[in-house]
Amino acid sequence: MELITLKKELTKCLQQAVLEAQQQGALPSAALPELPIEHPQNPEHGDFASGLPLKLARAMRMSPMAIAEKICEHIVLPPEIDKVWIAAPGFINFSLRKDWLSTQVESVLAAGESYGDIDLGKGKRVQLEFVSVNPTGPLHVGHGRGAVLGSTLANVLTASGYAVEKEYYINDMGNQIDNFGRSLYARYQQCLDKEAAMPSDGYLGNYTIDLAKEIMQEQGDRFLLLPESEATSQLAEIGVAKMLQRIKQDLELLNVDFDNWFSERSLYQGGQYDKAMELLQSGGYIAKKENATWFESSSLGEDKDNVLVRSDGSPTYFASDIAYHYNKFVERRFDWVIDIWGADHQGHVPRMKAVLKALGYDPERLKVIICQLVTLRRGEEIVKVSKRSGDIITLKEVIDEVGSDACRFFFLSRSADGQMDFDLELAKKQSADNPVYYVQYAHARIASILRLAAQRVGDYSQGDVSLLTTEPELTLIRQVILLPEIIERVAATLEPHHLPYYAQDLATVFHSFYKQCRVVSKDEALTKTRLKLVKATQIALAKVLSLMGMAAPEKM
């Protein structure tokens, strides 16, 4: 039985013990709350602890300690549990049998690269849409955070038994594309020594100059011969294609890829926009007022109605998003859709939930994660502009400076709903102060041990894991076997920051084990046994690094 299964078994045992005690009159009748079982931070409190008696105290009008005693009198423990005891102010603690712990090393080795995989999703189809930056400029650091969050969640959900599709939504129509085309046209003319003013609402970054020069070198002055509207339209088309290519290249540097690149324009060409509007119209959710078309979201509990089509006949971003989610749920029939949006989209969430309700779908099938801002620092100093271009620092510049692995680890190290500081100096340090270095060094150290073992020991597959009885060994095993539970937690909460925390904890426990227990020694039997534990640790560490999209280095 895996630890994750054993935890659920203990929950059932607690529930059964309370019901048994109630039937025998040892405990008064009361509805059972959720049965919390946690791993105590203090190892003296055992491997599991439940605060159930504390939750029952008011309803039962008994002291938590008295309730705990009665539960323990009636509990039937799984064979994997060594003992159970109560602790003030009303906790029930459990410790695992040491011989069971040692056998888990064999289970990890047998699972190999699939260790940690669980069947939580049971094949449910999930679409993850993330990044989806307008193709009118380069990716910046905030986009990188969403990219890493999305790709890591995709890895974890896949490992949890979901069928995951990763998608980038391309906003390739609307005002921002028109402005982009006019900006490129102005830069293009300037490159050909023509006087041209940049639009007041144009894209002023130096990257537009680079793009215009590139287009001029490839196509000469032919756009000067076209009517301005046609020239700007064609330049926008070319510019979007080039920006998308750069975005793809930057994301590849960050180890992020997509299964689909979905065009906003296709929603209008393929009829999804019209079909979605017809559905809302037939449901009575569309109204004409103030020369515009409105979605009457107030009838669904929203504070106000929202414009779908402006008075000039152009659809809003909201209208496109409705058509896009119609496509996701009605046409492609995803069971679950996860959108990762920037901090400026917070207000967009409730109205999209209202749309789903209007379309006849459970709003809970749409999960929106809002990714908060990133502040770049060099130690105490806040970094505001790029020294290279004078623009906002691009994601590529940060990757070039600190590397993909450091970017991914740091982006994951805080919950998405909190703003984060990214210390560029810390990310480059090759010391234990840098958590990325610290974790990857643990894997490299393990690889070094296994290389040494290959020379001196050879085959260690016959190592007897029952010899693993010391506290450093058992503590390491306890940490290794937590991984499936961590994966389940991330998949259930969509909070991948638990992964870097687990990786750091595992590295810390391994480094401690390494200092206290000589792995390759004159004791051949113990050497082979400890090599098994080291290999199991490598499997768990490599798995969590892989889920985070990071390398597991053999040497450092």
Helices 207-219, 175-191: inter-axial angle, 10-degree rounding:
70
3-class DSSP state of 205 = coil
Average pLDDT, the chain: 95
- Tell me the fold of 434-547: Isoleucyl-tRNA Synthetase; Domain 1 (1.10.730)
Concatenating the DSSP letter of every residue in 322-342 gives: HHHHHIIIIIS--SEEEEEEE
pLDDT at 391: 59
pLDDT at 146: 97
Concatenating the DSSP letter of every residue in 375-391 gives: EEEETTEEP-S-TTTSS
- Does 390 have pLDDT greater than 70? no
The 10 Å Cβ neighbour count of residue 300 is 17
Edge-to-edge, what's the strand order for the sheet holding 48-50?
A: 37-38, 48-50, 91-96, 81-87
3-class DSSP state of 493 = helix
Q: Kindly report, residue by residue over 41-100, the tens digit of the pLDDT.
A: 888 999 999 999 999 999 999 999 999 999 999 999 999 999 999 999 999 999 999 999
* pTM of the predicted model as reported, rounded to 2 decimal places: 0.94
3-class DSSP state of 197 = coil
pLDDT at 392: 74
**Where do the structural domains in the chain lie, given as residue ranges?**
3-96, 175-253, 434-547
The percent of residues above 70 in pLDDT, for the chain, comes to: 99
Reply yes or no: is the peptide bond before residue 496 cis, omega within 30 of 0. Answer: no
User: CATH assignment of 3-96?
Assistant: 3.30.1360.70
Concatenating the DSSP letter of every residue in 101-163 gives: HHHHHHHHHHHGGGTT---SSTT-EEEEE-----TTS--BHHHHHHHHHHHHHHHHHHHTT-E
Amino acid at 486: I
pLDDT at 385: 55
Q: Kindly report, residue by residue over 430-471, the tens digit of the pLDDT.
A: 999 999 999 999 999 999 999 999 999 999 999 999 999 999
pLDDT at 386: 47
Q: Which two tokens stand for residue 413?
A: 């190290």
- Residue 388: pLDDT band by 50, 70, 90 thresholds? very low
Closest alpha carbon to 243 in 157, 131, 388 = 131
pLDDT at 84: 97
Q: Kindly report, residue by residue over 509-550, the tens digit of the pLDDT.
A: 999 999 999 999 999 999 999 999 999 999 999 999 999 999
Domains 3-96 and 434-547 share a fold: no
Euclidean distance between CA atoms 251 and 503, whole angstroms: 24
* 220-243 average pLDDT score: 97
* 303-332 average pLDDT score: 95
State the Cα angle at 254 between 252 and 258, rounded to 5°: 50
